[in-house]
A and B are shown apart, each in its own frame.
Chain A
Amino acid sequence: MSAISSPSSLDVARIRGEFPILQGQVHGKRLVYLDNANTTQKPKAVIDTLARYYSEYNANVHRSTYLLSERATAAFEGARSKVQALINAPASREIVFTRGCTESINLVAQSWGRTHLRPGDEVVVTWLEHHSNIVPWQLVCEQTGARLRAVRVDDLGQVDLDDYAAALKGPAKFVAVIHVSNALGTIVPVKGLIEMAHARGIPVLVDGAQAVAHVPVDVQALDCDFYAFSAHKMYGPTGVGALYGKTALLEAMPPWQGGGDMIASVSFEKTTYNTLPWKFEAGTPNIAGVVGFGAAVDWLRQFDLSAVARAERDLLDYAIARLDDVPGIRIIGRPPDRAAVVSFVMDGIHPHDVGTIVDRQGVAIRTGQHCAQPVMDRFCVPATARASFAVYNTREDVDALIGALRVARELFG
């Protein structure tokens, strides 16, 4: 393999060395992992943290008086403070641990939505949303008689701000919007959207699944009411995520699941709920996952996220230029402000076939609808192939993708 070069300020060779999976091969080829929008790989620091938890201090949290439980609880609550710091949340009680971004959104839909939505109200989303920021709202709309309104997206893949303004003037009661599009890579100008919604007293949830590992996120600067994200898309374990919510909103919301840990006292006559954030954390949580989440935050915070964003943008621009050079490739969406994701189709070759063919060259990309069927419909494609980048990707990875795509072209003629 040739020496690794990256035009960024990141020491990519060192970073790559911290990811055991990147040292391996698939189909006898160097693994070129370009499916980071789906899930990122995990650095040794995170993997070791999970192993250490299970081998040294596995115990349930918040329940017992012995040493192991104390250590587990300290690590668990320590992770909460780390997540709080990552997104600059004012208080750790505003960070609720969940199974992931999807569950975070469902929590808000079921707890806030069922309490406040009335027949005729509208929940405003955009055509860029991932299914996980559509379906929870459809469910609560069915339960409450509210309606879902989807804001249009232009040909470049940007949210149509006029249509958004028009939607806010309607019976809008809540806005749920993606921060970075997982299908097109669009960075949505959420700060502006939030200001516009707040001017009308409408609270806003931001789906940050695709953002936290790729752009700096500051929930106080954004002034969002809720921010949802997953650990596994930011170098952490699967099955764990977080919801940030403003204290006043979370305090006023009813619990959405009942069980252990979310209660202060229980009798058959009356149950008093626990305080924030535990009110929303029923049952034994994914303790190892949360501790690993904390390790992933520590790992990510060694970098200046602005530098990460610049390096990944540089790599993305290189990838787009190389893709544009291959005859018969069409890139879907050209938003000027974008992060780490590029979707494309190839003339006469279905994305699914593209995926299989490049896999045999060691290149892992996502093909399909990316859980964003409305985006596919908007751009009139049944599916796309998608390359998405992380801090460990290099120009050599992009070159490998291009080479693999040429094999596909050769095979299909």
Chain B
Amino acid sequence: MSDLRDLYQEVILDHNRRPRNFGPLPEATRAADGYNPLCGDRLRVAVHLDVDRIADIRFEGSGCAISKASASLMTESVKGRTLAEVDALFQGFHQMVTASPGTPPDAALGKLTVLAGVGEFPMRVKCATLAWHTLKAALHDPNAIATTE
């Protein structure tokens, strides 16, 4: 069960039970829908963009613990950041969850490193990255629907 504990850490279970920044964002300037057809996860990420800075962000939808916790943690870590900073975070996050097992996560990712365990579960990488793909779609192509396929 220890490897399962690596994946389902208390922080992740907590964000799954009590997702942060969850709900609609009436003042959103950008939004996108994300869909993982494999498991039916659906997310909507809404952003209030102030020039090139994320002034506020919220998400809604249903999904597994990994996708929900990842979305929740993402909203916390990108709030107040510039687009360039968000791109760098996404890149770092993506590298972390697809890295070969045992690779130490980049400390610059902060709290997001609790999802490093996903690397041991290749089938779940899409769950962890759905919110990020959706955020990227919202920021770069406001009409797009992000999918993990």
Which residues on A are within 8 Å of B, measured CB to CB? 348-353, 356-357, 360, 367-369, 373, 376, 382-383, 407, 411-413
Contact = CB atoms under 8 A, between A and B. Distances in A.
B75 to A, nearest CB: 19
B39 A351 contact: yes
14 contacts: A348-B17, A349-B65, A350-B63, A352-B41, A353-B8, A353-B64, A356-B7, A368-B40, A382-B40, A382-B41, A407-B4, A411-B8, A411-B13, A412-B8
Given A350-B64, A350-B65, A368 B123 contact: no
B1 A411 contact: yes
Given A350-B65, A357-B8, 12 more contacts: A350-B68, A351-B39, A352-B63, A352-B127, A353-B65, A368-B40, A369-B40, A382-B40, A407-B1, A411-B8, A412-B8, A413-B13
Contacts of A412: 8, 13, 65
A352 B13 contact: no
A353 B66 contact: yes
Contact of A383 (B17, B40, B66, B68): B40
B13 A382 contact: no
A382 B42 contact: yes
Contact of A367 (B39, B63, B65): B39
B13 A368 contact: no
Interface string B123-134: 110010000000
Identify the 9 closest CB pairs spanning chains A and B, nearest first: A350-B64, A352-B64, A383-B40, A352-B39, A382-B40, A368-B39, A369-B40, A353-B65, A353-B64
Nearest to B17: A348
Interface residues of B, number: 23
A376 B42 CA distance: 14
A407 B5 CA distance: 11
Interface string B1-13: 1011101100001
B38 interface: yes
A382 B40 CA distance: 6
B38 A368 contact: yes
B149 to A, nearest CB: 13
A381 B134 CA distance: 22
Contacts of B40: 368-369, 373, 376, 382-383
A273 B4 CA distance: 59
A369 B13 CA distance: 23
B62 interface: yes
Contacts of B66: 352-353
A256 to B, nearest CB: 27
B80 to A, nearest CB: 30
Contacts of B64: 350-353
A405 to B, nearest CB: 13
B67 to A, nearest CB: 8
A391 B121 CA distance: 30
A348 B68 CA distance: 12
B37 to A, nearest CB: 8
Residue in A351, A352, A369, A413 whose Cβ sees the most chain B Cβ within 10 Å = A352
Nearest to A384: B40
A360 B8 contact: no
A411 B42 CA distance: 24
Contacts of B123: 356
A411 B65 CA distance: 12
Most chain B C-beta atoms within 10 Å of own C-beta, residue among A351, A373, A411 = A411
Given A350-B65, A352-B64, A382-B40, A360 B13 contact: no
Contacts of B38: 368
Interface in B1-44: 1, 3-5, 7-8, 13, 17, 38-42
A190 B64 CA distance: 36
B120 to A, nearest CB: 10
B4 A360 contact: yes
Contacts of A353: 8, 64-66
A357 B124 CA distance: 12
Most chain B Cβ neighbours within 10 Å, of A356, A360, A413: A356
A360 B124 CA distance: 13
A227 B45 CA distance: 45
A202 B55 CA distance: 61
B39 A356 contact: no
Contacts of B8: 353, 357, 411-412
A322 to B, nearest CB: 21
